[in-house]
Amino acid sequence: MALMQLHNLAVENRLQALDLELYSGEVLGLIGPNGAGKSSLLLALAGLLPYSGQITLKQKNLQRYSAIERARSIALQPQFVDSAWSLSVHDVVSLGRLPWGDADQKIIHAAMHRANVSELARRRVDALSGGEKARVWLARVLANQPQILLADEPVANLDIRYQRDVMRLLREYALSGHSVIIAIHDLSLAAKYCDRICVLNNGKLETTGRVEQVFDEQSLAAVFGTELFIDLERDPPIVLAR
């Protein structure tokens, strides 16, 4: 049974009607060129963009969830995050508990541990490096304990080690009975860590399927407008523009 179902979901001027299902335990990767509608899809799911069509979460129309109920089930990590104030890492991660109206220290510390930022707890977030910040933002989303975690380009601007760490973390989160949707430009990482891939182009859903079904040199070349080199036999797999 699907955890979430999108039926005829459309966002004015950004996304044409699409159908999609999301299952518990999976990482779904949204790929496609810039402006394809990846972020718009995530924003609509997080309640930040008005949409037409229907989204059902656990067999219940998302419109019938209150804002707080929705926020407890679906958490968003936007592409660009910054803290206006020089908050401590612990305070930023605690923000993840806002929808729950508590400050459960056990959950907050577990989230920091999971994102590997426990040692930074007392540091000021504006004094951290880009890689450290990215993990702190993720820890905030983890503390929210959402059923569905949405992450927009979670590994952009990270060095390769942090990219791997963040992708592993998202994968583990999905495996612990949740599901994760990420918008991602790095196709090699997408091939390695996503269970299923959704290809968007010009606001249209092109295909959805398992990595080996979707990562086809010819069809992806048409979407990205360039020749691709794809080798899924290797570990890690390689997907690059020629």
Partner 1 sequence: MANKLTSGLLLLAILISALSLHIGSVNLDVASGVWDWMRLIQSREALIVGEIRLPRTLLALVVGAAMGLSGAALQGLLRNPLVDPGLIGVSQGAALGAATVFYFNLFAGLGVLATPIAGLLGAAITLFILFGLSGSIARPGIIIMAGLALSMLTGSLLAMVLNFAPNPYAMQELVFWLLGSVSNRGLDHLLVLVPAFIAGSLLIWSQHRLLLGLSLGDPIAQSMGLRVARGSRLILLGAALLVGSAVAVAGNIGFVGLLVPHVLRPLVNYRPDRLLIPSALGGALVVLSADILVRLLPPERELKLGVLTALVGAPFFIWLVWKERQRWL
Residues in the site for partner 1, rule: CB under 8 A? 43, 46-48, 66-72, 74-76, 78, 81-88, 91-92, 95, 98-99, 124, 137, 140, 144
Query: Judged by CB, which is closer to partner 1: 182, or 220?
Result: 182
Query: Judged by CB, which is closer to partner 1: 70, or 192?
Result: 70
Give the separation between CA 113 and CA 109, rounded to whole angstroms. Answer: 6
- Residues 32 and 223 sit within 8 Å (Cβ to Cβ): yes
Question: How do 60-61 and 52-57 pair as beta strands?
Answer: antiparallel
Query: Judged by CB, which is closer to partner 1: 11, or 189?
Result: 11
Query: Judged by CB, which is closer to partner 1: 79, or 207?
Result: 79
Q: Any idea which residue has 């790929």 for tokens?
A: 31
Query: Judged by CB, which is closer to partner 1: 149, or 190?
Result: 149
Q: Any idea which residue has 């963040």 for tokens?
A: 166
User: Least CB distance from residue 233 to partner 1, whole Å?
Assistant: 39
As given in the structure block, the two tokens for residue 63 are 């419109």
Question: How do 179-183 and 27-31 pair as beta strands?
Answer: parallel
User: Least CB distance from residue 92 to partner 1, whole Å?
Assistant: 7
Query: Judged by CB, which is closer to partner 1: 140, or 196?
Result: 140
User: Least CB distance from residue 27 to partner 1, whole Å?
Assistant: 19
User: Least CB distance from residue 81 to partner 1, whole Å?
Assistant: 6
User: Least CB distance from residue 83 to partner 1, whole Å?
Assistant: 6
Give the separation between CA 80 and CA 127, rounded to whole angstroms. Answer: 17
CA dihedral over 61, 65, 69, 71, signed as positive or negative: positive
User: Least CB distance from residue 103 to partner 1, whole Å?
Assistant: 11
- Residues 41 and 55 sit within 8 Å (Cβ to Cβ): no
Closest CA to 144 of 93, 87, 216: 93
As given in the structure block, the two tokens for residue 37 are 């509608």
Q: Any idea which residue has 């508990």 for tokens?
A: 97
